[in-house]
A and B are shown apart, each in its own frame.
Chain A
């Protein structure tokens, strides 16, 4: 079956540091890949997405590249802010599930940014 593996957290960084959160996946076929962010007490927000190999998704200074050869979709940001503190989820969408977009999520990585 499909699976998503994220690096264990929490990740603690100082403001303006470089961020990488690793994500690798296992899937049959060619899934779409997503990063979601969850702020405390809230639902998940779509951060960025990529639908095919070598696509780069980007939003709010975050970016991730769909690497089929390494089955990875690592999240990066050049300079984090305190407001980026949240839990980040990597997810994939199995294209073989018909009309429903059934997502497989990683367990989430908590990011804490300090001044």
Chain B
């Protein structure tokens, strides 16, 4: 069966520090991968998605970037964190077989910026 792992589960970082969140998927090949941010009490905002290695689509302009160095690895990064980057970050995958596939989510990373 397929599983998705995100780490770390929680992270406290000072303003201006770098960020690297990692997500890996097991049990499937060529998945589509997604990064979301969920602000407290709010819905989900799609940040990036990827349909293949090295292919990244950005949905909103921001202080973050994403990379996909391997088929089942998706990384969310920042060079200098802002206070507004605080939130709950969720990684998800879907089967790479078209737009009707459901997405499956990891357990998330809660990021607090001080």
Assess whether B57 is in contact with A100, with CB atoms less than 8 Å apart: yes
Interface residues of A (CB under 8 A from B): 32, 34, 36, 41-46, 49, 51, 89, 93-103, 105-108
- Number of contacting residues on B, CB 8 A? 27
Contacts of A36 in B (CB 8 A): 105
Q: What 0/1 readout, one digit per residue, does chain B (85-114) give for beta carbons within 8 Å of chain A? A: 000001010101111111111111010000
Contacts of A44 in B (CB 8 A): 44, 90, 92, 105
Ordered by A's residue number, 25 sampled pairs between the chains whose C-beta atoms are within 8 Å are: A41-B110, A42-B107, A42-B108, A44-B92, A46-B104, A49-B102, A89-B44, A93-B101, A93-B102, A95-B100, A96-B99, A97-B99, A98-B51, A98-B99, A99-B98, A100-B49, A100-B51, A100-B57, A100-B99, A101-B102, A102-B46, A102-B49, A106-B43, A108-B42, A108-B43
Contacts of B24 in A (CB 8 A): none
Q: How far is the CB of B95 from chain A (nearest CB, A)?
A: 8
Q: How far is the CB of A3 from chain B (nearest CB, A)?
A: 11
Query: Helix, strand, loop or mixed for chain A's interface?
Result: loop
Assess whether A94 is in contact with B42, with CB atoms less than 8 Å apart: no
Interface residues of B (CB under 8 A from A): 6, 32, 34, 42-44, 46, 49, 51, 57, 90, 92, 94, 96-108, 110
Contacts of A105 in B (CB 8 A): 43-44
Contacts of B108 in A (CB 8 A): 42-43
Assess whether B99 is in contact with A93, with CB atoms less than 8 Å apart: yes
Q: How far is the CB of A96 from chain B (nearest CB, A)?
A: 7
Assess whether A95 is in contact with B105, with CB atoms less than 8 Å apart: no
How far apart are the CA atoms of A68 and B38 in the complex, in Å? Answer: 29
Residue from the set B57, B101, B106, B110 with the largest chain A CB neighbour count within 10 Å = B101
Contacts of B100 in A (CB 8 A): 32, 51, 93, 95, 101
